[in-house]
Each structure stands twice: as C-alpha cells, then as structure tokens.
Structure 1
C-alpha cells in the first residue's frame, strides 16, 4: 500500500524497520532539547534503544493497518546520512472522509534550509496522487512560526483555532488548524 522509499531533490524519505532504531535514537537524543518545546513530555525510557524499537514496531503495525504512513528523512547526497527528521500521515481515514493528519520534525542543525518544506510538498503530493486522499490537516501552535511558514509555503490554509488541543511538554496548547485540500478532487 505504501511506498518504502520516496525521493525528492535533496532527500530520501524512507519507511524504516527495527534495524534503524540506533540511528533514530541518535536523532531523538541529539534533538532532545530542541524538540521538547513542540512535542509531548517524554519519559526517560523514550531515550532508550528498546523503546525506540517498540515505537518502530508499533509504527509498522499501524502502517500495515493503513492508519499511518511514517517516513524518516535522510540527505540524498550522503549515503550514510544520519536521520535528519521524520514526517508522517496519521489517523488516515477512508470512506467519505479521505483525510489524515500530518506531523513532522527536523533536526536542529538542519533548520532554515528548506528540507521540511521539500518533504511536506513531496509527501502531500504522494498523499493526493497515490493514496487518493482529499484532505491533509496539520495542527500547529501559534508561536511555532517556522512550522506555520512551512505549511503556508505548501499551500495549507487556516481553518480556525483549536483551543487547548494537545498536551505539549506538559501543557495544554492551542493549535491553528491548517488544511490542504486535493484540488484535483473538487
């Protein structure tokens, strides 16, 4: 159902298995402080190899069930590139809805280089053309201007404010509901 590997101009986006757990662990440890402001609070066990393996196995089950499409980001010009981020389509719904949520994160050392905009465009195109989805939703905290800039560049439009939408770093945070529609389905 899902492609195992997608490429863009500068990126390789790939589905991973448990063998990638050490590289993903390096990414989450390297970006612990950077991502803390934007993600749920993490327990100490999150930063262990065993826990990262469990997360990958859970992702693989959800992908097999068609509810998730998660890709990890690598630079295409470096064959053994470290993980520089991830992007996912979650809560994939079929039927009359044909919708999903998009989430992403990027290594602190790779900010402001256009990688995430490139990845969002690539995955949105794939969601519409190959997965046949009609709607992609991204929920972003109002103070996360960098993330809002990415989705705006990719054509997402605001649909409103979801108050106290997600518990991020131990606090219920408002999120701007951004949406990209598959114009080919109109």
Structure 2
C-alpha cells in the first residue's frame, strides 16, 4: 500500500491524524514488497495476482508467486514467476530464526524432477534449496537451469500454527521455465498459517 498525504487534505485534522496513525503513513511512502525478473537489461515487476503459500506437501517450502500482464485485456500475454524456498521440516515450529541463503541450484528440464542444491560456505542448514521458475506461453526449456542464490530468510514467528517474517533473495543465472530471465529478486514480507 502506498500512502499519499494529499488524500487527507480535506479531512478534519483529528480524523486525518487518526487515519494517518491507522495506516502507518508518514512523509515517506510505505514500504512495498518486491518480486521482479530481469529480461535483458530490463526489470519486470511481478506484482499482479500475488500468492504467498506454505503448502502442506512434502518437502515443505515457501512459495512466492506473481504475474506480469503487459496488456490487461489481451489473452495469453501474461508471464508468471514463483520463488521457491524449500525448508528443512525440523526447522518449522522451533521459534524465530535468521537464515542465510547462499549456493547454487540446478533445476532439471522436467518439472517433476528434484532440484539439486549445492550450499555455499555461509549457507544455513535450515534451508534445503531456493530457486525461481517462470511460466508463459513459450517453448519449454531444453537445458537445466542453473541459478546462483544469495539472500536471507528471517522467521520472526515460527510456531506450530504460524510462520511469518521476510525473505530477501537474489537469484542470478538462467531461471527455470518457459520464460527464463537472467535474474530474479524478492523482498517479501509474509504471514502464513501452518
């Protein structure tokens, strides 16, 4: 949400003060989540139809997905991206944690295949793998995707019933899927039931 003080100009000052305090607005714009992919030299935001999930399938992981629709009324021009962060099941429900993500992920051509993750020197063991995959009406990939992973996962609330925090992640290399970019970035706050 972006806050615009001009919305409050015609509002009586006591009510404006209350509205400002409820929306946490100040002279700066409120911080927004980022999910974007680099194509050539251009970054595309994937901020439409955003989905954040902690599916109950095994292995457990966080999914952060969004779409980019350059022509809203056109058909079949949308592109999607999902950031996948697979977690060690033993991590869930153990309380707050700050985890470093660093390594290389290889995603096979076949979507049913398992990704291979090689952790870097500073990688935290609570994260099994991280990668990005794209989707569009393009040709399927013919080669595995190799992505360099660097970032941080902060779990502020990590209980038996709830998981919340922030993911800051950079992926470089060839993204998986039918519309691969050369990089992806995520800076996403999440709040999910388990």
TM-score (norm 1): 0.28
Higher helix residue share: 1
Higher strand residue share: 2
Larger of the two Rg values belongs to structure: 2
